[in-house]
Amino acid sequence: MKKLAKIQSSLICPKDQYNSFGKYNYRSCEQILEAVKPLLDGAILTISDEMVEVGGRIYVKATATFIDGDFRMSTTAYAREEETKKGMDAAQITGACSSYARKYCLNGLFLIDDTKDADATNKHGKNRPETLQDAPQAPEPDVPDFTSGQIVKALKKQLSAKMGKRGIDKEEQKKFYSYCTEGLEESVDVVQKILDRYDEYLEKWREFQGDYISV
C-alpha cells in the first residue's frame, strides 16, 4: 500500500498531446504506462478488458490492478461502443473504447487529476493569443458521460427482468438481492457478479428459502 501511495504522490503525466480538431489537450493510456513503469519498483500492474452489456448497449469494461506482495488494489472504468464511427471499422471502434476505458481506470488507480491547474489558464492580466498550453480542456469526443450509479441501476433492471421471467415477484426479488449483497457495498462489480452467476446464486437462494419460491 505504501508503494502505491508513493506512486500516487510522485507520478507526473501531463496532457502534452493536442487534438487540433477538438482543440483540447489530452494524455494517452500509453503515456500513463510509460510514466508509471519506472516507479513500480517490483510491483505488478495488470490491465484487462471485458465486454459487458448494460441497458442493451455494449460497453468495454477495463480493470487495472496493482499488486505488491499480498496487497492488491483494482479500479474499473467503462466506455461504450458506438454502433458506427466514420472512418473506423468495428475492430478500431473497440480498440478506441478499450484505450479510453483503460486510461480512466489508470487515472483512478494512480489518482491522476484530469483537471488543469489554475496557473495553466491564468493570463496574469495580459491579453495574448491562446497557445497549446492554454487550449480549453474537454472530454474526448464520442464517448458519453455516465456514472457508476446509472450503470448499477441498469444492471439491477436486467436482474429484475431475469427474475420476473421466472415468476418471482418484486418483494422476493428484493429479498434475493439483499441476500446476495449482505455485508457488501453496492457497486457495479457486485451487481455484475450477481448477473454473471445468476443461476448459481438463485439456487443457493432457493435452498436458503427452503424451496419457498419456485425457480
Report if pTM > 0.75.
no
Which residues in the chain show pLDDT less than 50? Answer: 115-146, 211-215
Domain ranges for the chain: 2-115, 148-209
Backbone angles phi, psi at 74, to 5 degrees: -130, 150
Q: What is the pLDDT of residue 112?
A: 83
pLDDT at position 98, please?
85
Look at residue 65 in the predicted model and tell me its pLDDT.
94
Residue 68's closest CA among 36, 33, 41, 38? 41
Scanning the structure block, which residue is given the C-alpha cell 421471467? 165
- Give the per-residue pLDDT at 89: 57
pLDDT value of residue 165: 85
CB 201 within 8 A of CB 194: yes
**Cell representation of residue 148:** 457508476
CA distance 129 to 146: 34
CA 202 to chain centre: 27
Residues 6+ apart with CB under 8 A from 120: 133, 134
Which residue, 108, 91, 87, is CA-closest to 29?
108
